[in-house]
Chain A
Amino acid sequence: MKKINDSKIYLIFTIIVLVLTVLLGAISYYSIFSVEPEIARLLSSDKNVAENYKRAYEQLRNPQIFARYENFDRDAQKIKDNLIPYFDSKISKGEAFTQEEGPYLNILLERRKQGSVLGRNTMVFFFLLTLLGLGFWLYEKKNSVEKS
């Protein structure tokens, strides 16, 4: 029986999952290292609270791709029904943010962090798939070299 050489399939599989790994990593680590620290800095500042909270909300209003507000999960429901309408109305009316609203903005920041952690964990999963695909590809290559 003729042995089928699957090395091409393994190679294509490895490349695809590697690309997904890189994409997920880029999205997640951009949020972890750039966006989230900036938002945390704005929310922890004692001066110019109204302006800083507004800038923080402007960034939070653009959610992390894995933590979008229209996603159907228990946490998103409370944010979607209460926090987002409340803060959007506030911005629309030109009202200033207050110190008391800090904890609610931190809830939005936590959701963003959960999204980037989910993205990072998914990246690890795809990285492991990349290693698996690479391993199978090398094994298949070795077998085909030995046979020839």
Chain B
Amino acid sequence: MPDHVENPRAIAKAEIKDNQVKYSVLVIGDVTNGNSDVILENIRGEMLLGDSAYHASHPFKIDRILPFQSGTVSMTLEGNEKEMKPVLDFLQVGVDKLLEEASGKKTGASEMVNIKSESITMRIISCDKKDIETIFKEKGKTDEKNK
């Protein structure tokens, strides 16, 4: 069963709308099925970001992950500067830099941040497991119906 998030990264950006600055952080990671012959289905879990100083959590759901493949989990955090300062400080993203990009003074994409793997964890609440051979039987039955 997957027990950690791989390749965690975050995209932070600022948007100016109606003279107000709105910050958003999209946290993305991959959940890999390392089993060679088990399909994971209806995966429900919780993604946890942070450490002793800051933490945020978000539920996720992945329909199916085939063997040796990955599913993507994500969490979006939004708010004004006061609400978002803890997470931006945690990710070591400069507010000034985001404001510069938002106001168009500095061109470039939103800031992509790599997250330390120990700062993001996950736990699986429920998951169905199926043997890989079931996909052959499912399709076999479908083929028979279609004949």
User: A residues near B, CB below 8 A?
Assistant: 54, 58, 61-63, 68-70, 80-81, 84-85, 88-89, 91-92, 94
Contact = CB atoms under 8 A, between A and B. Distances in A.
A89 to B, nearest CB: 6
B139 interface: yes
A135 to B, nearest CB: 41
B142 A94 contact: yes
Given A58-B136, A61-B132, A94-B142, A88 B36 contact: no
A84 B67 contact: yes
A81 to B, nearest CB: 7
B139 A94 contact: yes
B67 A92 contact: no
If over half of B's interface residues share one DSSP class (helix, strand or loop), that class is named, otherwise mixed; here it is: loop
Contact of B68 (A63, A68, A80): A80
B37 interface: yes
Given A80-B68, A81-B68, A85-B69, A91 B36 contact: no
Contacts of A92: 64, 66, 135
A91 B68 contact: no
Q: How large is the interface on B (under 10, 10 to 19, 20 to 34, 35 or more residues)?
A: 10 to 19
Contacts of B66: 85, 88-89, 92
A63 to B, nearest CB: 8
20 contacts: A58-B136, A61-B132, A61-B136, A62-B37, A62-B133, A68-B36, A69-B67, A70-B34, A70-B35, A80-B68, A84-B36, A85-B66, A85-B67, A89-B69, A91-B135, A91-B136, A91-B139, A92-B135, A94-B139, A94-B142
Interface string B115-147: 000000000000000001101100100100000
Interface of B: 34-37, 64, 66-69, 132-133, 135-136, 139, 142
Given A61-B37, A68-B36, A88 B142 contact: no
Contacts of A63: 36
A97 to B, nearest CB: 12
A88 B135 contact: yes
A69 B68 contact: yes
Contacts of A91: 135-136, 139
Contacts of B139: 91, 94
Given A61-B133, A85-B69, A88-B67, 14 more contacts: A54-B136, A58-B133, A58-B136, A68-B36, A80-B36, A81-B68, A84-B67, A85-B66, A85-B67, A88-B66, A91-B136, A92-B64, A94-B139, A94-B142
Given A61-B37, A94-B142, A84 B135 contact: no
B69 A88 contact: yes
Contacts of B67: 69, 84-85, 88
